[in-house]
Amino acid sequence: MLDQTLMHMHQTIMTKLALITGASRGLGASIALHLATTHHIIAVATTTGALEELDDKIKELNGSATLAPMDITTDAAMATLCRGIFERWGKIDFWIHAAIYAAPLAPANMIDPKDLSKSINTNVTATATLISYLAPLLGYEGTAVFFDDPRAGQTFFGSYGATKAAQIALVKSWQNESKKTGPKVCIERPSPMPTSTRARFFPGEDRSTLSDPKIEAKKILKKFDL
């Protein structure tokens, strides 16, 4: 049931709606907080506690949010979410796709089949499914934003690099196909940030040299006059 999967539904919402997949931390959370003053945030992530912390911060900004503690690889959950959005609001203005699975680094001949399968399901299949569900909700005037991380072909990045490249290739096709009909599809490449994903790849890195996700969120959204 929808009321079992969507938490903290607010009665009074802002006119504009922003769906953020991968909203619990890092760039996704920073974008959610930046948009919270002008948009009602629909925040999707697997970690309920982190979503609740985000909700508290959004409330401090006098914003409102709908929390959706879901796994984007679960087709039924995504279908329920999108149906609920349609029935309640009829559309969304922004979709920020920050969800990603960062498989452990490994030589190509030693990639764990489970890690590869999860990488494909999260980074490629779920993205394709969400595009099919959300394109009608975005319509002609909506905007979808994705994030490139060009690791394809780099040493030990076989699983992550290949599936991230496949995701971006899929998005580029959608981008070209929707130029005349909408929605607007954008691919951004933020500066390296001290996120949990990057920490998996570079555990000994000096994180003080990396860009704050809040700064990157502001830079990205400035392009959309937000």
Half-sphere exposure of 219 (CA within 13 A, CB side): 11
Of residues 115, 95, 92, 90, the one with CA closest to residue 105: 115
What's the pLDDT at 226?
A: 78
Which CATH number belongs to the domain containing residue 140 in this structure?
3.40.50.720
What's the pLDDT at 24?
A: 93
- Name the residue range of residue 55's domain: 2-222
The answer to whether 98 and 22 have CB atoms below 8 angstroms apart is yes
pLDDT-derived band at 8, boundaries 50, 70, 90: very low
User: How far apart (Å, rounded) are the C-alpha atoms in residues 70 and 44?
Assistant: 6
Total domains present in the chain: 1
pLDDT tens, position by position, 193-202: 999 889 989 9
Give the distance from CA 96 to its chain's centroid. Answer: 5
Give φ, ψ of 88 to 5 degrees.
Answer: -90, -40
Q: Length of the chain in residues, anyone? A: 226
What's the pLDDT at 9?
A: 45
What's the pLDDT at 182?
A: 95
Give the tokens for residue 26: 């890092």
Q: pTM of whole model > 0.85?
A: yes
pLDDT-derived band at 76, boundaries 50, 70, 90: very high
199-215 exposure pattern, b = at least 16 Cβ within 10 A, e = fewer: eebeeeeeeeebeebee
